[in-house]
Amino acid sequence: MPKLENNRMQNDPYAWIEKSLKSIEKAGWHRSTKTIDRPGTVIQIDDRDYLNFASNDYLGLATDDRLINAAIEATRNYGTGSTGSRLITGHRALHQELETAIAHLKQTEDAIVFSSGYLANLGAIAALVGKRDLVLLDQYNHSSLRNGAIVSGATTIDYAHCDSQDLRTKLEQQRQHFQHSLIITDTVFSMDGDLCPLPEILDLADEFECMVLVDEAHATGVMGATGAGCIEHFGCTGRAIVQMGTLSKALGSLGGYIAGSAQLIDFLRNRAPTWIYTTGLSPADTAAALAAIRIVQQEQERRTQLWQNVAYLKSQLSNLELLPSESPILCWQLSTVQTALEAAKCLQSEGIFAPAIRPPTVPTSRIRMTVMATHERGQIDRLVAALNRAKIEQKSNPLIP
Ligand SMILES: Cc1ncc(COP(=O)(O)O)c(C=O)c1O
């Protein structure tokens, strides 16, 4: 190779990206997008129909006409974009209505809506803690919580998953060295389906003078008698908690929020960079989320149907090794990446979409299934039959350990 060209390659500041991609591929961790042509319980990929057991649309609201019509009407009235940040030109009466509705659902004084759940976590955590503070995180917390803690500059310490004894030990060792302290946990763990020990965490927070931020992304609309989430499920409504959630899962729209005391929300409006320095949520997303909250509050039967579906599926899967779950997220635990990929492939050949989730996203490989209120009994039966076939195929495959 001529010397000049050789030098150029050596000096290419982007050359490391190719190398990095190669090692991602070598580890079997490479991921890419899949086009889903039709949303709902039956989706279409590459012209073939699949039963969808991978959606976060737990109540089936993302395709509900009332949300669609609300989004269309808001677009007609206010346009497609919010055109500016909320503090300059991007605030509409619709935003206020949505924030009031969230606060009402969550039984808090106020709420603030961000453009996504990820941004809500980043902005709120970075506003609440800084260099002289301590953040304690459940080891399985969502990426947005983890990155929020990193962005804040606080000292971050993990405690063992759902282990309040380990949290106590870490608080005893560390709390006195820091000014403010924030305990952060998902309430429903999205890749496992289990719940955090919220009452114990709140008691520890009181004892050690800590703030608590809970991520109700997979709980809102799903958990609790009125769909308010795990705080309601655990009977902890009214306690001092920073409640985060997303509008993009059971609420079928897009966006995130923090609900809490009026002072907390006022503080975030003045200090959360991912709210101050970004364009307000679009009118369509805002109106769809507002319509969804009304449905969550008025149609208890949707939640009842969801939980009936969860109970039925669980009752049919007693022969599979499931991770402990108290939510509509059910995981079939598998021993290796290879077995999980084989199982997902087998399910796909049976017309079922339920992906393999593997390291580094989770510590152990699994098939993750999510149940929707709109799944019909016959669709769940088809999933069960396909899972049984995938299990038999694994047993008979000599290449699978
Ligand atoms: C637990 C949890 N928190 C936060 C988020 C981020 O929410 P959003 O999709 O609204 O950005 C997600 C979504 O993937 C999540 O699962």
User: Which CATH superfamily hosts domain 31-61+300-396?
Assistant: Aspartate Aminotransferase, domain 1 (3.90.1150.10)
pTM score: 0.94
Using 50, 70 and 90 to split pLDDT, how confident is the model at 3?
low
Q: What is the distance between the alpha carbons of residues 86 and 281, in angstroms, rounded to a whole number?
A: 9
Percent of the chain with pLDDT over 90: 88
**At the topology level of CATH, where does 65-298 sit?**
Aspartate Aminotransferase; domain 2 (3.40.640)
- Probe ligand 1: pick from 115, 189, 242, 248, max atoms within 8 Å of CB? 248
**76 or 1: which leads in pLDDT:** 76
**76 or 394: which leads in pLDDT:** 76
The pLDDT of residue 317 is above 60: yes
| The predicted structure's pLDDT at residue 146 | 97
- Residue at token pair 């699978």: 400
Using 50, 70 and 90 to split pLDDT, how confident is the model at 367?
very high
Beta carbon of 253 within 6 Å of any ligand 1 atom: no
Using 50, 70 and 90 to split pLDDT, how confident is the model at 39?
confident
Q: Where are the domains of the chain?
A: 31-61+300-396, 65-298
| The predicted structure's pLDDT at residue 372 | 98
Which residue lies with its CA nearest to atom 15 of ligand 1?
217
Distances (CA, A) of 398 to 3, 349, 364: 52, 20, 22
| Residue 172 CA to ligand 1 centre (angstroms) | 31
pLDDT in tens, 19-30: 999 999 998 778
Using 50, 70 and 90 to split pLDDT, how confident is the model at 2?
low
The pLDDT of residue 180 is above 70: yes
- Residue spans of beta strands (DSSP E) within 209-292: 211-215, 242-246, 256-260
| Residue 92 CA to ligand 1 centre (angstroms) | 24
The pLDDT of residue 225 is above 80: yes
* Token reading at 256: 């995130």
**What is the enclosing helix (H) or strand (E) of 108?**
none
